[in-house]
């Protein structure tokens, strides 16, 4: 199986070593450097044309991905995410994962990332594609990228956690989650008022047992700040 290694602490590379005949899937434009023994092709991934279009409509991912194959011998490739931040590696198999928008970076060819429909209650979950969400299947290595540093958090039985969904990168599929407002101890109406004044309108309450990967930064907060602070172009 292709070997994945995260290289560097700040805005790292994903270093992948492939034996002859092995291949990986990577997000479009992820390749930074590869050796001459490797071949790069555009690919619809392992979902086919319909699944790839669904993935594009539902998430920030592109329709086409990069398939990198060690066709002429073993070789190495460096990949990078499109935004500054950390990376994390998951072993997919006994544990399967859900991914937030833009989190997928690369996977070995035994892993499938499928776009599936979620129920109405979960569809309001901003940052995971609305009615659609990405699930992993199969077995192999998965690399995800975050905006900002990453932190792996454990959810324990009987100890639910409330998390701002804009900071979630990935989570284990067996976890249960529901949309709610931050707990203010002031009842429903007070909770809505507190949510409006604190800036935390809707959050996710996770329960069960499993892991969640968090990012330290929030893309929407940055975009809002830029919109408020960038100078307005002058018109003649």
| pLDDT value, residue 226 | 83
**How many residues are listed for the chain in this entry?**
236
Euclidean distance between the first and final Cα of the chain, in Å?
A: 60
The answer to whether residue 231 sits within a structural domain is: no
**Regions in the chain scoring below 50 on pLDDT:** 50, 52, 55-58, 123-129, 184-199
Domain containing 97: what range?
3-226
The answer to whether residue 236 sits within a structural domain is: no
| pLDDT value, residue 232 | 77
The answer to whether residue 20 sits within a structural domain is: yes
The answer to whether residue 155 sits within a structural domain is: yes
Q: What does the alpha-carbon distance between residue 186 and residue 163 come to, in Å, rounded to a whole number?
A: 19
CATH number at residue 221: 3.60.160.10
| pLDDT value, residue 213 | 98
| pLDDT value, residue 236 | 58
The answer to whether residue 95 sits within a structural domain is: yes
* Tokens at 205, concatenated: 């309450």
What are the CA-CA distances from residue 1 to residues 10, 24, 31, 160, 197 (Å)?
27, 10, 19, 36, 50
The answer to whether residue 81 sits within a structural domain is: yes
The answer to whether residue 122 sits within a structural domain is: yes
SS3 142: strand
| pLDDT value, residue 59 | 52
Number of separate domains in the chain = 1
HEC profile of 57-120: HHCCCCCCEEEEECCCCCEEEEECCCCCECEEEEEECCCCEEECCCCEEEEECCEEEEEEECCH
The answer to whether residue 235 sits within a structural domain is: no
Q: Tokens 């540093």 belong to which residue?
A: 149
| pLDDT value, residue 185 | 44
């Amino acid at each position: 199986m292709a070997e994945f290694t995260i290289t560097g602490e700040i805005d790292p590379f994903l270093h992948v070593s492939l034996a002859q005949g092995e291949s990986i899937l990577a997000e479009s434009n992820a390749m930074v450097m590869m050796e001459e023994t490797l071949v790069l092709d555009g690919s619809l991934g392992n979902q086919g044309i319909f699944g790839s279009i669904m993935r594009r409509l539902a998430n920030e991912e592109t329709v086409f991905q990069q398939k990198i194959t060690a066709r002429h011998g073993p070789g190495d490739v460096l990949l990078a995410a499109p935004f500054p931040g950390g990376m994390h590696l998951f072993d997919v198999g006994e544990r399967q994962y859900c991914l937030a928008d833009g989190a997928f970076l690369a996977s070995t060819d035994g892993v499938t990332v499928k776009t599936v429909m979620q129920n109405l209650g979960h569809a309001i979950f901003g940052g995971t594609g609305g009615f659609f969400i990405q699930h992993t299947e199969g077995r192999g290595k998965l690399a995800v990228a975050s905006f900002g540093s990453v932190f792996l958090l454990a959810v324990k039985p009987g100890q639910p956690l409330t998390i701002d969904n804009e900071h979630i990168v990935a989570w284990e599929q067996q976890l249960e989650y529901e949309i709610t407002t931050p707990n203010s101890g002031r009842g429903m109406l007070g909770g809505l008022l507190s949510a409006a004044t604190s800036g935390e309108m809707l959050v996710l309450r996770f329960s069960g047992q499993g892991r969640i990967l968090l990012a330290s930064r929030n893309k929407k907060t940055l975009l809002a700040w830029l919109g408020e602070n960038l100078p307005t172009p002058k018109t003649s």
